Structure 1
Amino acid sequence: MQQEALEVVREYTEAVFRRARIPMEPLNYEVDWADQPSRHTSYPGALRLPLPVELPDLPTLRDLFTGEHLPVSAGWSLPRLAALLRLSYGVLDRRLAANWNQDLAKRAHFEHAVWGRGTASGGGMYPVEVFLVAGASGPLLPGVYHYGSGQHVLERLLVGDVSGTVRAAVGDGAGAADSFLVASIRFWKNSFKYNSFCYHVVTQDLGALLGSWDLLARALGAPLPRLLGFDPAPIDRLLGFDSDRESAFAVVPLEWVGGDGGRVSATGPVDAAPPAADVRVGQPAFERSRRLREFPAVIAVHRAAAAPTVAVPDAAYRVAPGDLPGEPVALPAPDTQRLEHPLSTVLATRSSSFGRFRRPPELTAAELGTTLAFAAAGRHHPVDVGLPADAPALTRLWVFANHVDGLATGSYAYCARRHALLPAAPEPDGGMSAFLQQQYFLTNYTMGQVGAVLAISGRLDAVLDTFGPRGYRVLNAEIGAVAQRAYCAATAQRVGCGAVLGFDNVSMDDALGLTGSDERTVLFLLLGRHPDGTADLAYRL
């Protein structure tokens, strides 16, 4: 059965990587924008509990990068949890920027407004939903709650301590916790636009959210382990999901801090029997769409990738990409002074560039190097899938240097250990800008205005051989987390950043010399300048 699941995942990812040349099914798909789902899931029949809106003073990105001036590790409190949710996935502002995107005119109208959030999302769809399964040790009445991102509230869906169901599903990863954050994905919130391509995008969206949570947890001084290798079926039943439409993808155990500042452990034995299988959330979420379409490729790959992980001992050391030969090109040391901005400010001002790049002035090698160093520092976060604590990262960062002051045009691999670039290929015939534009099949960016393109790659076949079909989700989670950290570093330096999936992966891999290997580019980040004088609106909430 696992071999069949592996083949389904490989077939799907091959279609994803070649979609610039061979379109994915269904062909000629048209988005029904008038019938799109709500951007904020809500449960109309639920009691709503307002969360604290005051945000604590948080360390700077520099502190998070160097490890200095960080708070002493403690447990979670309701204000800390509220800050985590609001800064990562809550609505922070309304944005309107004048650019050349085709939908600019309608975005000026309230019903098409863009509401900014701290975490990036493919297409701004935000398909991840956050639930809190609260046990007896927490500050809330035990039960199941949904985070209402639009109003920054907890919606109570079920009363009663059902944390045993989650603890049983995640096993030893629960530790002493009896409360859990569950990150699920509602596929329709993305697939209505991206159809079969949905699963690739949403699994990176999950990683971006986990990347934000990792930064915020360190800044708040509270532990936040991530669990990705559990069986989602019991949790899906508890939350009332049709697993083909929505499913749990990550679980985060929470240990609460008591009135004396000490951590509060779960009451009762950790291996307590879960409640009866028929105990589940009975309230339905509001669905705006009149017609929900399902895509066979998404259902098939989700069922395959949901298979439990079976890690091969010590194989984690064989999935990391190796260094390239050649003389390293030294980068300027990371300019940590440029990261001297509170994490809360960075997340509140983070945005995607969406066609706003302008040059001159050029992106500098120091800005590029600082972004690379901060992004690479978060590539490996221990998860429950057989990765040892000292295992190498699953991904590698590449640079297509287009217009970077202090760096020759060409392609490079980034070596975090030496903070240097390893030459991969010289400037293509016809110039780097022309090459990048030819490989980009969308219309919202002009590559001649972009300073550099970062590519995040991974060895998918090796990851699948190591972790089984779930390895696809694990790899994409790391890719999304790296992208979110790049966004944060760029924002702190006032450098424009935009994540894109619209390149021809086959040609980009060939340009980096990856053809014939099992390493592939998966996600791309554009870096460059924004013009100083722009007609932008950002109404902070």
Structure 2
Amino acid sequence: MPTGSATRDQHGSKPRRQPDAGPAKTGVRPFDRDEVGAFVRRLRGSFDDIYPGSWQIDWQNIPSPFRWYETADQVDLPPMPRQLVRGGTEQAVTVARRGQLSWLGALLQASYGVAGIRWYPEGTAKSSPEQPVPVHRDSHYQLRRAVPSGGVTYPAECYVCTDGDAELAAGVYHYNATRHALARLATGRPPAGLAPPDGGVRIVLTIPLWKNYFKYGDFSYRLAALDSGTVVGQFALTARRWGWTCRVSLVGTEQPLLRGLGLDPSVEAAPVVLDVRPPATDTTGGGGSLPGDGTRPAAVPGLPWRGAMEMPDRSSGARRMHAACLAVAGETVDLPPIPLDGLPADAQLPAVASAPPSVADAWARTALGEQYRGTPVGIGDVATWSAEVLAPLDGSVPTHPRCLLIARSVSGLSTGAYLLHGDGRGLTRTAEGDFGALVQRCLFGSYMNFAQVPLIAVMVGAADVHCGPSGALAYRAQHLLAGVLAQRLSVAATRDGLSGHPVLGFVSGPLDDALGLATRGLTSLLLVGVGRYRRALYLESSTHPVATGGGGDS
């Protein structure tokens, strides 16, 4: 893939081919151990620490939030059946029996398809304490998905590997979300590393480094890891609702995967793979053979695709941090445990029982931090959301990171900061007091109304995770897993008519000190405000008539 400027056309980019180029060929020098530490500290700092005074958003190099393989055959996917939008295991079994194309279409649409269209007729309107009059921009629309994404950039790309069945030929595909189709990249059984489980599919999530770099600079590296985690969270949530298996595996050695997909490892990451399989039915198993015989190994050529713009400079922190991940590649990603055993239970959440949220809940998800109200939430609701956040994640992924709750206006719980125990009920108070004003001061975007929101969840992890044997890989993995928890919390809150808004743009040092995290060797990775909200100045339409809902009060 070229790393210089691109000649634009009416689609916003020119076709790209993926060379088999590693860091040695691209001239990217990986961060060493000390440089990784300096980069991590910088991204935890203030806005001025992260962005130099001359920095500005590169509006001339906005890539598409979607990747198109123009010359690849497109296999149209069936839309998600109506009964699955709010349905569960029983309805999912019926769809799975129709064949792989049918259940794969439902899974991809539910988890990473285009879920709705939001239109701002008078442009976005944001106000802040410093600028109480809303700022209006040109009218525009956004294609939305079931997951949050910084700047609506959706950096993760979704590749599907299958042994096929009578409906779908064995091969390697790319998910075209705008058409709800699979772009066939190669036919035949996927090679080692890309091979799926029997009767299922292997989904490889990749992160092009340029996808959100134009808007966030080096901070995009951290943001993309969290964004990809929300996608993992939504796939896992969908599978759990439907009673399917979704095994999550962090990738330690990603270059073979990327080359197997015909991608350039120097400018794209592959942090995680998902092995998804519905319960066994009489239609599962191999057998796809159109075209090809379904048995020869698939070989993905460097097919041209559209959607990219300029690559980050070779000297950029994002490129060098990614090169550091490639340099410490190993069979596993080592994440240090975050022990909570033996902590005192200063408070207790009530025992609750609830079903996993539905696809409709995820599609109705909102992120309206600007419109938060101070309406209290009940301790029973917090218990329900906490149980969802701590639901098991299938795979060899450690229980990591953790969740800290800042209770500000929670009926039945005193104000303060609490570490949530692994049982989803016990709470250890780490600090007393109301931290709304402090959180508000720490935010990069002062238009967010976290000073009033009744509950703030803080996803926390090991502060020195990058100092272990997995180095930069562990840093990326910890943020990805924080994104999983954020998606779970946001969707669970939506089910109850509230908004959950994940926020990464904040300075962590003052929070870590005040919340009692620093003394425990922990750091704040991500904030999620949860509360009721006022309606915003936009119109939104779901792509599925059943997937409506959400809530607020006015």
Q: Say if 2:210 is the partner of 1:188.
A: yes
Distance 2:238 2:200 in 1: 21
**Which residue pairs with 1:155 in the alignment?**
183
**Which residue pairs with 1:132 in the alignment?**
160
Distance 2:254 2:383 in 1: 39
Deviation at 1:38, TM superposition (A): 0.9
Say which of 370, 387, 398 aligns to 1:373.
Answer: 387
Say which of 157, 169, 177 aligns to 1:141.
Answer: 169
Is the 1:311–1:466 Cα contact (8 Å) retained in structure 2? no
Deviation at 1:485, TM superposition (A): 0.3
Is the 2:75–2:181 Cα contact (8 Å) retained in structure 1? yes
**Which residue pairs with 1:481 in the alignment?**
484
Distance 1:208 1:70 in 2: 22
- How many residues were matched structurally? 498
**Which residue pairs with 2:395 in the alignment?**
382
CA deviation vs aligned residue, 1:305-335 (integer Å, no higher than 9, x gap): 23323559xx87x612325754521223336
Is the 2:112–2:147 Cα contact (8 Å) retained in structure 1? yes
Distance 2:281 2:349 in 1: 48
**Which residue pairs with 2:223 in the alignment?**
201
Q: 1:509 to 1:254 in 2, by over 3 A?
A: closer
What's the RMSD between the two structures over aligned residues?
3.5
CA deviation vs aligned residue, 1:243-270 (integer Å, no higher than 9, x gap): 2222322233456888724544999xxx
**Which residue pairs with 1:93 in the alignment?**
116
**Which residue pairs with 2:349 in the alignment?**
331
Distance 1:326 1:484 in 2: 28
Q: Say if 2:88 is the partner of 1:31.
A: no
Distance 1:293 1:473 in 2: 18
Say which of 39, 42, 47 aligns to 1:12.
Answer: 39
Distance 2:296 2:174 in 1: 24
Deviation at 1:465, TM superposition (A): 2.6
Is the 2:201–2:276 Cα contact (8 Å) retained in structure 1? yes
Q: 1:345 to 1:73 in 2, by over 3 A?
A: closer
Deviation at 1:137, TM superposition (A): 4.8
Higher helix share: 1
Deviation at 1:184, TM superposition (A): 0.8
Amino acid at match of 1:519: L
Alignment identity in percent? 25
Distance 1:340 1:485 in 2: 9
Q: Say if 2:284 is the partner of 1:282.
A: no
Is the 1:401–1:407 Cα contact (8 Å) retained in structure 2? yes
Q: Say if 2:443 is the partner of 1:440.
A: yes
Query: Superposition pairs for residues 166-245 of structure 1, below 5 Å?
Result: 166-167=193-194, 176=198, 179-245=201-267
Q: Say if 2:542 is the partner of 1:519.
A: no
Q: Say if 2:496 is the partner of 1:496.
A: no
Q: Say if 2:333 is the partner of 1:357.
A: no
Q: Say if 2:101 is the partner of 1:78.
A: yes
Deviation at 1:448, TM superposition (A): 2.8
**Which residue pairs with 1:423 in the alignment?**
429
**Which residue pairs with 2:456 in the alignment?**
453
Deviation at 1:196, TM superposition (A): 0.4
What is the TM-score normalised by the length of structure 2?
0.79
Distance 1:197 1:409 in 2: 32
CA deviation vs aligned residue, 1:481-512 (integer Å, no higher than 9, x gap): 10110011100011121000122210111012
Deviation at 1:113, TM superposition (A): 0.7
> Which secondary structure state, in structure 2, belongs to the residue aligned with residue 346 of structure 1?
helix
> Which secondary structure state, in structure 2, belongs to the residue aligned with residue 422 of structure 1?
strand
Deviation at 1:115, TM superposition (A): 2.0
> Which secondary structure state, in structure 2, belongs to the residue aligned with residue 499 of structure 1?
strand
Is the 2:240–2:356 Cα contact (8 Å) retained in structure 1? no
Deviation at 1:516, TM superposition (A): 4.2
Amino acid at match of 1:116: R
Q: 1:137 to 1:58 in 2, by over 3 A?
A: closer
Deviation at 1:147, TM superposition (A): 0.9
Distance 1:340 1:214 in 2: 11
Unmatched 5+ stretches in structure 2: 1-29, 128-133, 290-294, 544-554
Which has the higher mean CA deviation after the structures are superposed, 492-501 or 38-47? Answer: 38-47
Distance 1:504 1:154 in 2: 40
Q: Say if 2:536 is the partner of 1:508.
A: no
> Which secondary structure state, in structure 1, belongs to the residue aligned with residue 247 of structure 2?
coil
> Which secondary structure state, in structure 2, belongs to the residue aligned with residue 189 of structure 1?
coil
Distance 1:459 1:88 in 2: 29
CA deviation vs aligned residue, 1:29-68 (integer Å, no higher than 9, x gap): 211224311122212223222211133534969x89xxx9
Q: 1:328 to 1:259 in 2, by over 3 A?
A: closer
Unmatched 5+ stretches in structure 1: none
Q: 1:54 to 1:229 in 2, by over 3 A?
A: closer
Amino acid at match of 1:147: Y
Distance 2:329 2:494 in 1: 37
> Which secondary structure state, in structure 1, belongs to the residue aligned with residue 405 of structure 2?
strand
Amino acid at match of 1:198: S
> Which secondary structure state, in structure 1, belongs to the residue aligned with residue 249 of structure 2?
coil
Which has the higher mean CA deviation after the structures are superposed, 367-376 or 246-255? Answer: 246-255
Is the 1:134–1:143 Cα contact (8 Å) retained in structure 2? yes
Distance 1:256 1:327 in 2: 39
**Which residue pairs with 1:347 in the alignment?**
362
Is the 1:73–1:222 Cα contact (8 Å) retained in structure 2? no
Is the 1:451–1:527 Cα contact (8 Å) retained in structure 2? yes
Q: 1:42 to 1:311 in 2, by over 3 A?
A: closer
Deviation at 1:274, TM superposition (A): 6.2
Is the 2:125–2:137 Cα contact (8 Å) retained in structure 1? no
> Which secondary structure state, in structure 2, belongs to the residue aligned with residue 45 of structure 1?
coil
Distance 2:91 2:171 in 1: 36
CA deviation vs aligned residue, 1:247-306 (integer Å, no higher than 9, x gap): 322233456888724544999xxxx9967xxx53332211363x4433621111112223
What is the TM-score normalised by the length of structure 1?
0.81
> Which secondary structure state, in structure 2, belongs to the residue aligned with residue 425 of structure 1?
strand
